[in-house]
Structure 1
């Protein structure tokens, strides 16, 4: 996301108040960090940091890829609605 938004590590580190070297290590998974750090990083990139239950991860990924939208299969069809009003 940082690359997509064309934000350098130096710029991001200034916004979140962290040394660029430490931020780089966190982003590369070489150093652990607190949840508040991830919240700050997300806010700096105009994003939201969220936890997704593993059983819902595939659904969330599909939605983010634009593949999760479509007809509501549980909704009544227009034919069902029409017939219910004319019974």
Structure 2
């Protein structure tokens, strides 16, 4: 079962960004993601976890992910053979 969790800081007002990212991931991976959750977390936290693997941390990266790169990172964990069309990596 593929599961994605987005942890966000409610004090930083990142709920709207988190819900938008969740929506985009659910649209892109409608057949692959069985569960997606939003979890309020500590101050300054923004993390995306796929199948228990941390794929993005705002603390580590010092920025939010672009949607294209987040989709690629999620895809690499939950559906490595899936084409993302125009959002795919350029070799």
- Above 0.5 in TM-score? no
TM-score, structure 2 as length reference = 0.23
The two structures have a TM-score, normalised by structure 1, of 0.24
Q: Which structure has the highest helix share of the two?
A: 1
More strand by share: 2
Structure exhibiting the larger radius of gyration computed from Cα positions: 1
- Structure ranking higher on relative contact order (CA contacts 8 Å, 6+ apart): 2
